[in-house]
Structure 1
Amino acid sequence: MNIKAPKGTKDILPADSYKWQFIEDNFSKMAREFGYGEIRTPMFENTALFKRSVGETSDIVQKEMYTFNDMGKRSLTLKPEGTSPAVRAFSCSTDVRAIKPHKYYYDIPCFRYENTQEGRYREFHQFGVEIFGSDSMLSDAEVIALADSFLRKMGIDDLELRINSVGCKECRPVYRKALQDYLMPNFYKLSDDSKKRFETNPMRILDSKEECDKELVENAPTILDYLCDDCRKAFTDIKLLLDEMNIAYIVDSGIVRGLDYYTKTAFEFISKRLGSQGTVCGGGRYDHLVKEIGGQDLTGVGFGMGKERLLMLMSENGHNFGGIYKPDYFVAFVSDEARLYAINLVNALRNSGKSAIIDVCERKLKSQMKLADKVDAKYSIIIGEDEINSNKLTIKDMTTGNQIKVDRNELLRV
């Protein structure tokens, strides 16, 4: 019986893994250029972390988390998102005593039990950044600018940046009551999920993908009309900063994000080419999360970016992801004696900083050269009796077919 990969997971083989390496290398490079250091957190966390941070009423906690008890009967959860673990790690570290702000980036797998579809899996992968300790909208503008710069560098320029303010503890309850009053006459028309959210988190109804909910909220009051002075000033400031950086945006009061910890700024980069699951990157500000999970009273802002959706868009745009890696040299051999010389040469080439391939299956010369074509080697070298006796190597350019004779020692010095 063939044992297949679990539903909602996907193997990444060499024919595709170079694409992942391309975006991973570019993201980490850009994050470092923006002044972020890498943070790595465990694959699983105490379940209480996500219940407290993401919110007990969120879909993630209620429906999607991979939660289990270990042998010590402790409740653990495979991390469904990256912000909460980053906050927990930061709060437990000595970094909290260092000069603010604290800037991290991460590259992680996440896990959520949900319906699978193209670009959406139960094990998925994210880039993310977080800034802790800055109340200024400059930090919000910076994380948006980082995401915008990276997506453009990856050749994606047809995205829409949508921004909103989701208010704070002062103004959000007022808006929540106004939204409930508006929806109450048509409560019976709401989807089952939205009926459950009506009391616990009615703002999530604005984000519903159900057609019946979309129709009901089309003319609903907007939170932007209920912002307190502080939130209104912050939202005006973030727009001013984005204008100054020439980053185009659309104000969309329906952007509320699916996590309960957001305050003030919320944003998404959306592609219409990905249908209903068009969000490639999303994030925002969370002013109370660090304190709520037991840390200091420090603000935070960040984003998460899905790799699978990013790769889909780049592939549709015809991106070559830097091209498949080509080895410098393929070394073939025609006899047992040549085999020993060839492996010695391959090892010497590698030690001198060059990439070199040898046929570990020890096939006939014709088949070795077919393999040289398959791996797309830049140059080939065939080792026979003459090469062993003279230490002179014939190097063939696999693209042009041109050949030159080079002394072995000279080749290793180049």
Structure 2
Amino acid sequence: MPPVSASARPPSRPSAPGIPEGTRDVLPPEWAQREALRARLAATFSAWGYRGVEVPALEYASAAHPQDALAFKLIDSGGQVLALRSEFTTAVGRLARTRFPAGPFPLRLQYAGRLWLRALTSELGRLREFNQSGVELIGVESAHADAELLHLADAALRDVGVDARLELGFPGFVDAVLEDAGLHGHAREELHHAIDRKSGADVDVLARRDGLSAGVTATLHALTELYGGPEVLDEAAALAQGARARAAVTHLREVAVHFGRPLLFDLGVSRRYDYYTGVTFRAYSPGLNQPVLGGGRYALEGGLPGAGFAIGLERLARAAAAALPPEPEVVLALDLAGAQTARAAGLHAELAWTDDRAALDAYSRERGITRWIAGHTWQEVGA
């Protein structure tokens, strides 16, 4: 699935001096927050049976890769063109095919790590280097499997204190309706983009240019408005003339039943219809205009079915900030015994590097440390 991430600062702010545009320094408070989120997500994924894997940051460049046009590329000493990892699904899919060729399926895997893209896109918060955690459910294709991922996505976000709404799409539904309307080639491709943008004005321009009937134009407009609760599936069913479109609506109904909780549906989602083979979903948190999570169903090379989702850690850090507990108090230990006592009590202890009390006092005040410990004896800074 496409990367999902965002900067933890306003996207218009330039990079710090001395580092490339689209990259950023991460300072200790944010680093600690992000690592806590990563650990919580990993624990949740593990509890659901998703085992961890790690894939190389360097890959062989390939025109067939879904992010090939946006990948950073380099040439190794043997002349081979390599690329920095730009999304995880392809890499984890390769691992599944080569390391688990016979399963056992379903294969449940989780990952976490850094991604790189050459382009600065608003969807990624203007970052070209960012972090993701995610899961892949490989080797099965059913409404039960899709619902499992929705349940896991919801559980993972709740476990880090984020109450997000889940939105389901099915890019192939739009394509099927366009096909049933007799639209093909470049015209169909352009309408995909117009519908995905929910641009009625662009739909009208394209319809007039291609001489589409009033009935077909009305159908196209209806596609842009297919957003809401369960009633959207009824509206979609009314537009579904062919077998592909009807099957998409039926599958979404089955997924909704297996999930058993309220969902939002956006059946005008049409972007990357050539990549996703079934359900897609996103999770939105209040206050953020970009999803904290995104995923969907796809087919790996060789036809092996897969589905999964990725969580952008930078964006999640913004959404979860209020829910994370404060860091433990930091104290200054004047000896090793004091450090051991403090750490046994769940505190963070820095070790004094000098006997100069004036220097230690000045450092403690600047660092925000209010207590010292020697052995088992505590004292307030400056006392």
TM-score (norm 2): 0.75
Which position in structure 1 is the counterpart of 2:25? 11
Q: How many residue pairs were aligned?
A: 337
Matched, 1:38 2:41: no
- CA shift in 2, pair 1:11/1:180, >3 Å: farther
Which position in structure 1 is the counterpart of 2:332? 330
Q: Decide whether the 8 Å contact of 2:200 with 2:221 is kept in 1.
A: no
Q: Decide whether the 8 Å contact of 1:349 with 1:356 is kept in 2.
A: no
Q: Which sits farther off after the overlay, 22-31 or 223-232? A: 223-232
In structure 1, C-alpha distance between the alignment counterparts of 2:175 and 2:345, rounded to whole Å: 63
Matched, 1:300 2:306: yes
Q: Write out per-residue CA displacement over residues 139-182 of structure 1, whole angstroms, 9 at most, x where no aligned residue.
A: 1111111111122232222x331112233xxx87643435774x
Which position in structure 2 is the counterpart of 1:357? 350
In structure 1, C-alpha distance between the alignment counterparts of 2:287 and 2:119, rounded to whole Å: 21
Report matched runs for 1:12-411 at 5 Å: 12-48=26-62, 51-54=63-66, 60-62=67-69, 64-93=70-99, 95-115=100-120, 119-157=125-163, 159-167=164-172, 174-178=176-180, 181=183, 198=187, 203-208=192-197, 213=202, 218-220=221-223, 225=240, 226=242, 228=244, 230-242=247-259, 244=260, 246=261, 248-258=262-272, 260-271=274-285, 273-275=287-289, 278-286=290-298, 288-291=299-302, 297-315=303-321, 318-319=322-323, 321-327=324-330, 330-332=332-334, 342=335, 344-345=336-337, 356-360=349-353, 362=354, 364-372=356-364, 380-382=372-374, 393-396=376-379
In structure 2, C-alpha distance between the alignment counterparts of 1:173 and 1:265, rounded to whole Å: 13
Code of the residue aligned with 1:163 in structure 2: it is L
Q: Decide whether the 8 Å contact of 2:146 with 2:279 is kept in 1.
A: yes
- CA shift in 2, pair 1:289/1:7, >3 Å: same
Q: Decide whether the 8 Å contact of 1:180 with 1:202 is kept in 2.
A: no
Q: Decide whether the 8 Å contact of 2:174 with 2:269 is kept in 1.
A: no
Structure of greater relative contact order (alpha carbons < 8 Å, 6+ residues apart): 2
Q: Decide whether the 8 Å contact of 2:171 with 2:272 is kept in 1.
A: no
Code of the residue aligned with 1:270 in structure 2: it is Y
Q: Write out per-residue CA displacement over residues 38-80 of structure 1, whole angstroms, 9 at most, x where no aligned residue.
A: 11111121122xx4352xxxxx444x22223333222222222
- CA shift in 2, pair 1:269/1:105, >3 Å: same
- CA shift in 2, pair 1:215/1:106, >3 Å: farther
Q: How much has 1:395 moved relative to structure 2?
A: 2.7
Code of the residue aligned with 1:256 in structure 2: it is S
Q: Which sits farther off after the overlay, 34-43 or 65-74? A: 65-74
TM-score (norm 1): 0.70
Secondary structure of 2:161's counterpart equals coil
Code of the residue aligned with 1:46 in structure 2: it is Y
Q: Percent same amino acid among aligned pairs?
A: 22
Structure 1 residue runs without a partner (length 5+): 55-59, 185-195, 292-296, 333-341, 383-391, 402-414
In structure 1, C-alpha distance between the alignment counterparts of 2:174 and 2:203, rounded to whole Å: 21
In structure 2, C-alpha distance between the alignment counterparts of 1:52 and 1:91, rounded to whole Å: 17
Q: Decide whether the 8 Å contact of 2:45 with 2:156 is kept in 1.
A: no
Secondary structure of 1:92's counterpart equals helix
Which position in structure 1 is the counterpart of 2:8? none
- CA shift in 2, pair 1:197/1:375, >3 Å: farther
In structure 2, C-alpha distance between the alignment counterparts of 1:201 and 1:127, rounded to whole Å: 33
Code of the residue aligned with 2:326 in structure 1: it is G
Q: How much has 1:8 moved relative to structure 2?
A: 0.2
In structure 1, C-alpha distance between the alignment counterparts of 2:162 and 2:343, rounded to whole Å: 39
- CA shift in 2, pair 1:347/1:324, >3 Å: closer
In structure 1, C-alpha distance between the alignment counterparts of 2:320 and 2:58, rounded to whole Å: 30
Q: Decide whether the 8 Å contact of 1:198 with 1:205 is kept in 2.
A: no
In structure 2, C-alpha distance between the alignment counterparts of 1:162 and 1:96, rounded to whole Å: 33
